[in-house]
């Protein structure tokens, strides 16, 4: 089952010449300031002073042109909560964030647990998606953790991956069956690691700040105990798996150890876990409430190290739109989740690249080639003959995050009002100009 | 791929700090000088309350709105009386019988009440963060009268006031807080406030109910003998989730941690924020003894809340003379 078959919608056959940008494709070993020509949606030439061929020309002087981003963890809220996000608005937001492909989570209403629901979504994506989008299907029916979905049929119908995101597969026995059976699909199992008996009533990271604020604690162990279980099962069944939105040092250490032992396990981390700590929750801003929660500075340092050394291969936004009325409530009453598609690059560039904590090259790799590799998607790359999946970035431009500027239908961003450095100016996704600033 | 440094830069992208002392949302909004000024003001008001005419004209024409989304006897009555004694207009809204029962959101309730241009909104709410939400949508000063397990700053101030009145000092006073600290906004506020004024604190009770991040902890009830003040918390039965097993039973709790006469020594003061579960966390003989400051705490609540309202709506400290002057 080929990777590109899981993506639906978006794409086109645009022509374009980008002049004088710094081409930066770390995976291809490319770092050169030359022109790029796109013919009919395909990169046709790289070089100095390229013939324009009658195409539109974009000036890339002082800018970086990189492989566009891939987000394996997006909530499009469709079907069921189209007031919060639709395929059209979510993919438009992704395009504005520099993404050329995203994978949508199946915890919708109804849950994506049958081939019919999946086919319906893929058909809608063909009509309305701004960029190619893949749909992950549930591991268990209704994400209830009791009965496996028809994973074979779902994979045949184009499921991008399997996940019960939002909740763990609580039973170790069922998790083992899912791993074993998934061998027939060739798709990744993506796991939300949470031991519910340790996280019940949890509102934020359990530690000094939660003790002081009186908010229910969601301990690191609530994640790492489950991570440990999943990695043991992966080793035992010799099946690959992917750990979503890792937040705790202990989890990262376990993943590193398992990978060293030859277990085929991958991990992702969100921009908010890379930029913030539980100290931020003191403001009681509901846009700082997410699952898993923001943790300590030590955890944040561990996540950044793991991202840098490749233990964590992917950055995923866990873009989780919520309506204004749902988040305009006291912290304790607010739902978990924040948006991230339109701010991910700028937030990480501001918080990690500019201070010299992470190289731009590593950031670009973890936002594009890393997630594509994990999920078997075609890797966005800058090479003659490759489909044009490109993002034109200004690493120096600054902008202010404003509620009325989001393409997303929701504005529950932890960055509202903040000034960020780094701006997406143009996104080409599958040969189509999907966004221009 | 080489990384220059993996040093995390703290603080970047942190949200901006809340502005100054426009509200009293938690003890964290106060510095030591603020506490000392408020207690001084409260003391002045206490002297004024010894006269036959107890009403002062200080806040005439001002509007104080009390919004209580959770049951309360002490706090709501004392805020209402405090506002009245300062001649402010008051309006008290309880969740039951209001539009809240029709599903009105807290934000809309706050906007509705703000339309009357109140000077102060006093809010009690079962959810942490409710006062912050109200503060974000109103021009009024907001006073937190208790939000979930988070904060209850006027309770902490009245407790400090009571200790100072009873012992004549705060600096160096040793306070043992006994019971369910985990679920107690009173304890969270008081621990912070005691630190602020240089008093010592130890937490005593069952291990799962004592967050060690907050202060020194002891599981042995005998520890309370070392304290100047024994502060007994209510066993928050309504906050004990079914099957949470913080303690095996109330019976075992009482056997091990109930504050009884023989666990105290002479000269110790005993405090309780109320309402008391006699026979659970506090022995009735202790509750009714001369060492108990429970009624003094209620009296302190009135003058401290007068001081808080006065402090938010006027500038500068009040003196006995001024109060006597305007009252005369």
**Any B CB within 8 A of A421 CB:** no
Residue A411 in any domain: the answer is no
Whether the pLDDT of residue A86 is over 90: the answer is yes
Same domain, B305 and B252: no
Q: Name beta bridge partners: A266.
A: A242
Chain B interface, Cβ < 8 Å to A: 1-10, 12-16, 18, 105-107, 125, 127-130, 132-133, 147-151, 183, 185, 188, 211-214, 241
Whether residues B141 and B242 fall in one domain: no
Within 352-371 of A, beta carbons closer than 8 Å to B belong to 355-359, 361-362, 365
Residue B36's domain spans which residues? 27-151+299-320
Name the domain count of chain A: 1
Task: State whether B177 and B82 are in the same domain.
Answer: no
The label of the residue with tokens 């003391």 reads: B43
> From start to end of B197-246, where are the E strands?
200-204, 216-218, 229-232
Question: Cβ–Cβ of A357/B188 closer than 8 Å?
Answer: no
CATH number of the domain that residue A141 is part of: 3.20.20.140
| CA–CA gap between residue A12 and residue A431 (Å, rounded) | 5
CA dist., res. A21 & res. A26, Å (int): 15
Angle between helices B185-196 and B32-48 (to 10 degrees): 100
Contact B2 A301 (CB under 8 A): no
Nearest to A325 among B14, B105, B185 (CB): B105
> The pTM is what?
0.91
Top residue of B10, B11, B15, B243 to mutate, by most chain A CBs within 10 Å, is B15
Q: Residues A193-215, buried b or exposed e (16+ Cβ, 10 A)? A: bbbeebbeebbbbbbebbbbbbb
Query: Cβ contacts (< 8 Å) between A275 and chain B: which residues?
Result: 12-13
ipTM: 0.85
Predicted confidence (pLDDT) per residue in B100-130, tens digit: 777 789 999 999 999 999 999 999 999 999 9
pLDDT at B24: 96
CA–centroid distance for B5 within its chain: 45
Number of domains in chain B: 2
Q: Choose the mutation target among A31, A197, A333 for the interface with B, i.e. most B CBs under 10 Å.
A: A333
Residue A172 predicted with pLDDT over 90: yes
Q: Which domain holds residue A317?
A: 68-381
Q: Which two tokens stand for residue A150?
A: 């028809």
Residue-wise pLDDT tens digits, A276-297: 999 999 999 999 999 999 999 9
**pLDDT tens digits, B128-155:** 999 999 999 999 999 999 999 999 999 9
The predicted pLDDT at position B1 comes to 39
Q: Do B132 and A284 touch (CB under 8 A)?
A: yes
The pLDDT, as a whole number, for residue B4 is 44
Choose the closest CB to B127 out of A207, A213, A330: A330
CATH code where residue B144 lies: 3.40.50.1370
Question: Which of B131, B148, B212 to substitute to test the interface with A, most A CBs within 10 Å?
Answer: B148
pLDDT digits (tens, 9 = 90+) for B77-94: 999 999 999 999 999 988
Mean pLDDT of chain B: 88
Contact between B273 and B297 under an 8 Å Cβ cutoff? The reply is yes
Q: Which residue of A has its CA nearest to B243?
A: A197
Q: Which residues contact B54 (CB under 8 A, 6 or more apart)?
A: B48, B85
Task: Give the pLDDT mean for B251-271.
Answer: 95
Averaged pLDDT of chain A = 96
Q: Is the domain of B51 the same as that of B77?
A: yes
User: Taking each helix axis from N to C terminus, what angle separates A360-367 and A297-309, rounded to the nearest 10 degrees?
Assistant: 80
Does the pLDDT value for residue B61 go beyond 70?
Answer: yes
Does A431 reside within a domain?
no
pLDDT (mean) for A83-102: 98
Q: Check CB contact under 8 Å for A332 and B14.
A: no
Is A435 part of a structural domain of the chain? no
Q: Taking CB atoms and an 8 Å cutoff, what residues of chain A touch B183?
A: 214
Q: Has residue A403 been placed in a domain?
A: no
Q: Which of A261-265, A381-385, B317-321 has the weakest average pLDDT?
A: B317-321
**Given pLDDT bands bounded at 50, 70 and 90, which one contains residue A33?**
very high
pLDDT band, residue A371 (cuts 50/70/90): very high
Print the SS3 string covering chain A: CCHHHHEECCCCCCCEEEEEEEEEECCCCEEEEEEEEEECCEEEEEECCCCCCCCCEEECCCCEEEECEEEEEECCCCCCCCCCCCHHHHHHHHHHCCEEEEEECCCCCCCCCCHHHHHHHHHHHHHHCCCCEEEEECCEHHHCCCCECCHHHHHHCCEEEEECCCCCCCCHHHHHHHHHHHHHCCCCEEECCCCHHHHCCCCEECCHHHHHHCCCEECHHHHHHHHHHHHHHHHHHCCCEEECCCCCHHHHHHHHHHHHCCCCEEEEECHHHHHCCHHHHHHCCHHHCCCCCCCCHHHHHHHHHHHHHCCCCEECCCECCCCHHHHCCCHHHCCCCCCCCCCHHHHHHHHHHCCCCCCHHHHHHHHCHHHHHHCCCCCCCCCCCCECCEEEEEEEEEEECCHHHCCCCCCCCCCCCCEEEEEEEEEEECCEEEEEC
Indicate if B96 and B141 belong to the same structural domain.
yes
What average pLDDT does the segment B156-160 reach? 98
Chain A segment 190-249 residues within 8 A of B by beta carbon are 200-201, 203, 207-208, 211-215
pLDDT in the model for residue B98: 73
Gyration radius (Cα) of chain A, Å? 21
A23 in a domain, yes or no? Answer: no
Nearest CB to B6; choose among A284, A301, A334: A301
Tokens encoding B153? 């700053």
- Catalytic site residues of A? 318
> Is residue B327's pLDDT more than 70?
no
| Residue A390 belongs to a domain | no
Give the nearest chain A residue to B15 (CA atoms): A280
In a domain, A416, yes or no: no
Lowest-confidence pick of A49-58, A252-261, B8-17, B165-174? B8-17
CA distance A330 to B107: 9
Q: Evaluate if residue B202 carries a pLDDT over 60.
A: yes
Tens of pLDDT, residues A6-17: 999 999 999 999
Residue B240 pLDDT level (bands cut at 50, 70, 90): low
Among residues A154, A157, A149, A114, the alpha carbon closest in space to that of A5 is found at A157
- pLDDT band of residue B18 (cuts 50, 70, 90) is very low
pLDDT top residue among B99 and B156: B156
């Amino acid at each position: 089952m080929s990777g590109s078959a899981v993506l639906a919608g978006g794409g086109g056959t645009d022509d374009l010449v980008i002049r004088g940008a710094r081409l930066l494709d770390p995976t291809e070993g490319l770092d050169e300031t030359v022109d790029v020509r796109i013919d009919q949606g395909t990169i046709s030439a790289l070089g100095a002073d390229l013939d324009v061929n009658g195409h539109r020309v974009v000036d890339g002087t002082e800018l970086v042109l990189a492989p566009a981003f891939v987000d394996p963890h997006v909530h499009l809220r469709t079907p069921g909560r189209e007031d919060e996000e639709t395929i059209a608005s979510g993919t438009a937001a992704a395009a504005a964030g520099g993404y050329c492909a995203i994978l949508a989570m199946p915890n919708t209403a109804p849950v994506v647990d049958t081939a019919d629901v999946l086919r319906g979504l893929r058909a809608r994506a063909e009509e309305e998606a701004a960029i190619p989008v893949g749909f992950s299907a549930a591991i268990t029916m209704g994400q209830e953790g009791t009965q496996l979905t028809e994973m074979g049929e779902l994979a045949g119908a184009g499921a991008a991956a399997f996940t019960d995101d939002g909740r763990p597969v609580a039973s170790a026995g069922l998790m083992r069956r899912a791993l074993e059976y998934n061998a027939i699909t060739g798709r990744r199992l993506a796991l939300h690691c949470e031991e519910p008996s340790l996280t019940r009533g949890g509102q934020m990271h359990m530690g000094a700040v939660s003790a002081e604020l009186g908010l229910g604690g969601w301990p690191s162990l609530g994640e790492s105990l489950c991570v440990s279980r999943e990695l043991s099962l992966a080793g035992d069944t010799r099946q690959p798996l992917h750990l979503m939105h890792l937040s705790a040092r202990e989890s990262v250490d376990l993943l590193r150890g398992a990978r060293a032992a030859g277990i085929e396990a991958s991990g992702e981390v969100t921009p908010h876990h890379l930029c913030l700590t539980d100290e931020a929750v003191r403001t009681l801003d509901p846009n700082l409430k997410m699952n898993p929660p923001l943790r300590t500075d030590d955890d944040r340092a561990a996540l950044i190290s793991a991202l840098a050394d490749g233990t964590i291969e992917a950055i995923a936004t866990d873009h989780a739109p919520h309506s204004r009325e749902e988040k305009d409530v006291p912290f304790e009453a607010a739902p978990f989740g924040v948006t991230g598609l339109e701010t991910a690059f700028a937030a990480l560039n501001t918080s990690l690249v500019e201070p010299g904590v992470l190289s731009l090259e590593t950031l670009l790799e973890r936002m594009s080639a890393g997630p594509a590799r994990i999920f078997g998607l075609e890797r966005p790359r800058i090479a003659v003959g490759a489909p044009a999946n490109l993002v034109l970035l200004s690493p120096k431009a600054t902008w202010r995050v404003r509620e009325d500027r989001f393409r997303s239908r929701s504005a529950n961003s932890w960055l509202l009002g903040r000034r960020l450095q780094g701006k997406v100016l143009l996104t080409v996704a599958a040969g189509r100009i999907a966004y221009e600033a | 791929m080489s990384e220059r440094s993996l040093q995390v830069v703290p603080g970047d992208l942190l949200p901006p700090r809340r502005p100054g002392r426009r509200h009293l949302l938690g003890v964290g909004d106060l510095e030591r000088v603020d506490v000392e000024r408020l207690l001084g003001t409260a003391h002045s008001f206490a002297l004024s309350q010894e006269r036959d005419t107890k009403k002062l004209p200080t806040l005439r024409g001002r509007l104080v709105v009390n919004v209580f989304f959770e049951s309360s006897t002490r706090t709501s009555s004392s805020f209402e009386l405090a506002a009245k004694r300062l001649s402010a207009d008051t309006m008290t809204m309880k969740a039951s019988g209001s539009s809240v029962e029709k599903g009105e959101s807290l934000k809309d309730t706050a906007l509705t009440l703000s339309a009357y241009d109140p000077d102060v909104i006093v809010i009690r709410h079962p959810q942490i963060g409710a006062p912050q939400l109200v503060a974000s949508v109103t021009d009024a000063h907001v006073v937190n009268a208790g939000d979930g397990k988070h904060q209850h700053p006027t309770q902490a101030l009245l407790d400090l006031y009571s200790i100072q009145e009873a012992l004549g000092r705060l600096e160096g006073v040793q306070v043992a807080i006994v019971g369910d600290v985990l679920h107690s906004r009173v304890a969270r506020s008081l621990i912070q406030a005691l630190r602020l004024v240089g008093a010592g604190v130890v937490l005593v009770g069952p291990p799962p109910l004592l967050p060690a991040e907050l202060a020194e902890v002891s599981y042995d009830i005998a520890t309370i003998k070392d304290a100047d003040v024994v502060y007994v918390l209510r066993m928050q039965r309504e906050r004990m989730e079914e099957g949470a097993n913080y303690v095996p039973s109330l019976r075992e709790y009482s056997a091990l941690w109930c504050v009884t006469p023989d666990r105290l020594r002479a000269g110790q003061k005993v405090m309780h924020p109320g309402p008391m579960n006699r026979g659970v966390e506090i022995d009735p003989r202790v509750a009714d003894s001369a060492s108990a400051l429970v009624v003094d705490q209620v009296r302190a609540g009135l003058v401290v809340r007068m001081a808080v309202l006065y402090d938010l709506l006027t500038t500068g400290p009040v003196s006995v003379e001024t109060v006597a002057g305007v009252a005369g």
